[in-house]
Structure 1
Amino acid sequence: MGRRNEPPRLADGGFAVWSRDRLACARRGAAECGDVWQLEPGVYVASAAAPCEAVLRRARDFPKASAPLFPPLRRPGGALTPEERSFAHTARMRGLRAQAVAARTGRIAPRTARFADQWPDDEDVEVLPRVRHALAEIGVHYLFSEDAPLLLPPAAQLFLAREALVRPSRWVWPRWVPTPARRFRTRQQVAFTDALRPVVHRRRSSGLLGDDLLGQMLQPSPHHGLLPEEAVLDTLPGITVATFETPTRAAGWILLHLARHPEAADRVAAEAGSLPADPAATTGAHLGGLRYTQALVSEVLRLYPPSWLLTRQVARETQLAEYTLDAGSTVLVCPYTAQRDPREYAEPDRFRPERWLQDGDTPSGGGVFLSFGTGPHGCEGTALAMTMLTLLTAQTARRHRLSEPPGPRPSHQVTTLEGLATVGLRLRATARG
C-alpha cells in the first residue's frame, strides 16, 4: 500500500464511521473523495457510474464471491461440472427472459389484484409481511404452476433460513463451522428439495413437463440432452427465494412513495384504469401501456436500490479508474451513490418519475441504472421483478389511497445491513371512490 495512485481515504472514516450510518458515509465518501475511494486498507468503494459498471462487467478482474446463500447439497456424485452449471443457467433463463415473462402476465396479475383487494381499509397495516406473502405466491406460482401450493410452505422456510443467515452477529465464523443458522439452512434446503424431487420425477415420467420455469428446465437441449436432476434441485432454492425477497424490499419503498406523493399515485391510478376488469385477461400489451407506472417504479428503484451495495473481490492487480488495486482487495460497488450522481441525473435527490419519460409518454433510458446490477452477474429475474412490481403498484393505486399513520411514531426504520429496506413499514389505505 502507500502508492501515489492509491484511491483517497475518507478523513476520520473507517468501519466505525461506516457502521454508524452507511448511507451517509457512502454519500460523504463520494462527495469528498470522488468516484473511487478507500474505506479501509484494501477496501475500496466505487461510487460513480463508470467505475461501478466497470467492476460489474469485468467479472474476471472483479469476481463475485463464490459463497451462494444456498450452496449445493453434498451428494455422492460430487459437485456439478462447469458445463452442467452453464447448462442450468441457460435452461432457467428460458423461463426468465422478458418474452417468457410477458407471455405469462395474465398469471401474475390476479395475485397482485388480490393483494390490493385484501388490504383492509382505514387500518394501520404492517406492509412488508403482507407484500412478502403476495410476492412469494406470485414467484412460486411462476416457477412451479399447479405444484406451487405444495412448494410454498418450504419456500417460506427457505426465506426464514436466509434471514437467520444474514442476521448481524458479533462473530464471523469460517464457512466450514456448522453454526445453528447454517444447520437450519441445510434442514430447510433438504426439506425444499425433498418436496421438489417427486414433482420432477412425476413430470419427467409423465412427459407433461409444464410451461413454467421448472418445465423449461426439464426440457431437453439439442446439444446437452437432459439437465441432470441434481442440477435442477440445486438451482431452484436460491431462485425461489430471489423471486420475492428483493422485490419485497423494493415494494416497500414503492408503496411508501405512493403514500408520500399522492399526485403521482393519482396518475398511476388513472393509468391503471386501462387494465381489464378480469386480472387474468391482463397481457403484455396492457403492461406496456402502464408507462407512467413503470417510470415511477424505476424512479423509486433509482433512489432506493434494494441491493444498494454489491461486493466484489480483486482477482489480480488491476486498474480501476486511474488507480491500481492489489489482488485480494475488496471493492464495494454502490448503486445508491452512482444513481444519485448529478452527472447522471438532474436534481438527483428529487423524486421525479417523469425523468424516465420523453414527451411525457415514451420510456426514456435516463442515466446509469444499476438497481438490478449489470454484466455477467446481473439479476436474472429483472423482467419478472419489474412485471410483479409494476402490476402490484398499479393495482394498489387503482383501489386505494395510501398514507402514513398519523402521530409521532415513524412509519418505518431504514436498514442497510443486507439490503435497503423499510423495516416495520406501516401504511393506511383508504378506498378510492
Structure 2
Amino acid sequence: MGRKDEPPRLAGGGFAAWSRDRLALARRGAEECGDVWQLEPGVYVAAAAGPCESVLRRAQDFPKASSPLFPPLKRASGTPTSEERAYAHAARMRGLRAQAVAARIGEIAPQTARFADQWPTDRDVEVLPPVRHTLAEIGVSYLFSEDAPTLLAPASQLFLAREVLVRPSRWVWPRWVPTPARRFRTRQQVAFTDALRPIVRRRRSSGRLGEDMLGQMLRPSPHYGLLPEEAVVDTLPGITVATFETPSRAAGWILLHLARHPRAASRVAAEAAALPADPAATTSAHLGNLRYTQALVSEVLRLYPPSWLLTRQAPRQTQLAGYTIDAGSTVLVCPYTAQRDAREHAEPDRFRPERWLDDAGSPAKPGAFLAFGTGPHGCEGAALAMAMLTLLTAQTARRYHLSEPTGPEPGYQVTTLEGLAPVGLRLRATLRD
C-alpha cells in the first residue's frame, strides 16, 4: 500500500508495460489515476496541464537532468564557467527571439519553397529524410549565415551521432564509460567544433561579426564582456541539431494531416496563394497572414507534440498537486496527455485547427499548449520552428494534394523513445490544378 500523500500507482503499469506502449499507458494512467500518477516507486508522471506547467516552471524544485546530449569537451584549458554558460544562453536567445526570426523570414521562405518544388510527384516518397535535410539547411543557415555550407555536413553528422546515442540498448552504462556510441558522438562533436573555430576567429579578427545567431554570441556584453571562444563552440552543437531534429518530427505529422484532411489542406493552399511569387520577398507580414496555416500547425503540435515526454528530477522532497514527491524521484512531464485533456480542449482527440482562431463564432479558445515546453527551459527555438513549419506547410499545400499509400500495411511506425515521430512515413504528391 502506498502512502496517502503520494500519487496513486497505476495497476498493471510499471516499466515493462511502459516499454510495450508508452502512449497507451500514459493515457490510461491519466484516465484511471488522475493528474499525477506513479509508474514505479520514485517515478511519477505529471499528466495534466496544471502539474505539467508547475514542474516546468519550478526549475529549482524540479531541475532538468544535468546530462546534455553534447557535453562540453574536455580540454586542458577547462570547461566554461556557469557564468559564461549563462551568458552564452542569453546571447543565443537574442538571436532566436521572435523579433530576430521575423526579420529573416525572407531567408527561410526560399528553402521551404525549394523543398516543395523538388518533391517527386505521382509516386510514394519517404518523407522524413528530405524534410530533415531541408530543415537542417534552414536551421544551419539561420545560425551561421554565409558560413552554413562549411557547417552543414558536420551538423548532419552530429544528428547521426545523436541517433546512434539514443538507440535502445540492453545495458545502461554509467556516463563515464566510453561506449562506441559515446566515442562516435565525441568524434563528431570535435569535427563540428573544429570546423566552427576558424569561423569564430575569422569573424572576430575581421570585426565582421555577422547578424546571425553566431554574431550575437560574438558581441561583447556590458555585464559579461567578451564570451570566451570555448564557451561559444561548446554551446553550439546542441542548439544546431535542435533547430532541425525536433521540427522534422513535427513536420512529418503535419504532412500526414495534410494528406488525411484534404479540406484543411485546401484551405491552407488558398491562404498560401497570397504568398509572393518570389519566396525571397516573403516578410513577417506574409507569415502573419497565414492564420489558418499556423492554426493547423498548432493543432498538429497539440495532438502529436514531438517532445511528448520531458524528464525532471526532484533533488529534495517537495509537493506537486497536493502530493508529496520524495527526494531523488523522477517526474515525467507529459504534454501528450495534458494537451488531450477534455478540461482543456473540447473534443480533445479531434483534429480541429479552427480551435486556434479567434474569429467571432469560432470554437472555445484553446487550453494547454506545451509543445515547446514552458518556464526557464522552454524551447529556445520556438519562434524559428513555427516559422519553418508554417512556411513548409503552406508551400507544400500550395503545390500538391498529398495522399497516403494504398494497401493493408501502415505507411509509418510511431516511435516514442526520444520523441514522437512517424518513422518511415511515405506520402504521394499530386500537383494541384
Give the TM-score taking structure 1 as reference length. 0.98
Identity %: 83
Displacement of 1:296 in angstroms is 0.1
Q: Contact 1:292–1:361 at 8 Å: present in 2 too? A: no
Question: Any residues of structure 2 matched to 1:153-192 within 5 Å, and which?
Answer: 153-192=153-192
- Distance, in Å, in 1 between the alignment partners of 2:282 and 2:98 is 16
Bigger drift between 216-225 and 206-215 goes to 216-225
Structure 1 CA distance, aligned partners of 2:398 and 2:421?
A: 24
Q: Deviations over 1:25-66 (max 9, x none)?
A: 000000000000000010000000000000000000001000
TM-score, normalised via structure 2 length: 0.98
Deviates more, 1:329-338 or 1:81-90: 81-90
**One-letter amino acid matched to 1:336:** Y
- Cα distance between partner residues in 2 of 1:224 and 1:361: 51
- Return structure 1 stretches of 4+ with deviation > 2 angstroms: 360-365
Task: Give 1:355's aligned residue.
Answer: 355
The worse-fitting range, judged by mean Cα deviation, of 52-61 and 402-411 is: 402-411
Give 5+ residue unaligned stretches, structure 1: none
- Over 3 Å counting, the alpha-carbon distance change for 1:415 and 1:128 in structure 2 is same
Aligned residues of 2:79 and 2:230 also touching (Cα < 8 A): no
1:386 partner amino acid: M
**1:65 matched residue in structure 2:** 65
Aligned to 1:379: 379
Aligned residues: 433
The answer to whether the Cα contact below 8 Å between 1:243 and 1:385 also exists between their aligned partners in 2 is yes
| Alpha-carbon distance in structure 2 between the residues aligned to 1:111 and 1:343 | 39
Residue 266 of structure 2: aligned partner: 266
**Residue identity matched to 1:354:** E
Mapped partners of 1:89, 1:277: distance in 2: 37
Q: Which residue of 1 aligns with 2:200?
A: 200
**Is residue 139 of structure 1 aligned with residue 139 of structure 2?**
yes
- Whichever residue aligns with residue 419 of structure 1, its letter is G
TM superposition shift of 1:220: 1.3
Structure 1 position 2, deviation (Å): 3.4
Measured after TM superposition, the shift of residue 359 of structure 1 is: 1.7
User: How large is the Cα RMSD of the aligned pairs?
Assistant: 1.3
Q: How does 1:268-417 map to 2 (within 5 A)?
A: 268-359=268-359, 366-417=366-417
Q: Secondary structure at the match of 1:244?
A: helix
In structure 2, stretches of 5+ residues that fail to align are none
Tell me the distance in 1 between the aligned counterparts of 2:431 and 2:181: 42
CA displacement at 1:302 relative to structure 2: 0.1
Q: Is residue 52–residue 334 contact of structure 2 (8 Å, CA) maintained in 1?
A: yes
- C-alpha change, 1:260 and 1:287, in structure 2 (3 Å) is same
Q: Which amino acid is the alignment partner of residue 134 of structure 1?
A: T
Once residues 41 and 217 of structure 1 are traced to their aligned partners in structure 2, the CA distance between those partners, rounded to angstroms, is 43
Q: Which amino acid aligns with 1:238?
A: G
Cα offsets for 1:273-307 (capped at 9, x unmatched) = 11100000000000000000000000000000000
1:348-377 alpha-carbon deviations (Å, 9 max, x no partner): 000000000122699996101000000010
Q: Distance in 1 between matches of 2:169 and 2:414?
A: 19
8 Å Cα contact 1:291/1:361 also seen in 2: no
Counterpart residue number, 2:47: 47
Does the aligned pair in 1 maintain the 2:136–2:152 contact within 8 Å? yes
Contact 2:355 2:365 in 1 (8 A): no
Is contact 1:291–1:363 with CA below 8 Å preserved after alignment? no
